[in-house]
Amino acid sequence: APVSSDPEPGAREVVNAGEIAFWPDGDAIAIGFGPTPVSRRGEIRMASPCNIWAMALDDVSRLKAVHAGEGISIVSVNGEAA
């Protein structure tokens, strides 16, 4: 089912590699792994503030090989799909 949320206190545009966030303006999950079109030098900047809610345990740099439209899985540490 679709998920929707407003930015929470502490929502931010600049995230760290491996941070997993909900992007309220896009109703989507965002994973910090590399520069975006709005990034400034040396940062991972989202288009608008995101709610950080998790941290990846694996090396997120591997996401650079994923192409638009391909699926990925986010699984909680207890083995349940997030």
User: Could you tell me the domains of the chain?
Assistant: 12-59 (2.40.100.20)
**Average pLDDT over the chain, rounded to whole?**
89
**pLDDT given for residue 24 in this prediction:** 94
> Which run of H or of E encompasses 63?
none
Q: Is the pTM of this model over 0.85?
A: no
Say if residue 32's pLDDT is above 60. Answer: yes
Residue 64 in 3-state DSSP? helix
- What are 20's strand-pairing partners? 31, 54
**pLDDT given for residue 25 in this prediction:** 93
CA 24 – CA 32 distance, rounded (Å): 15
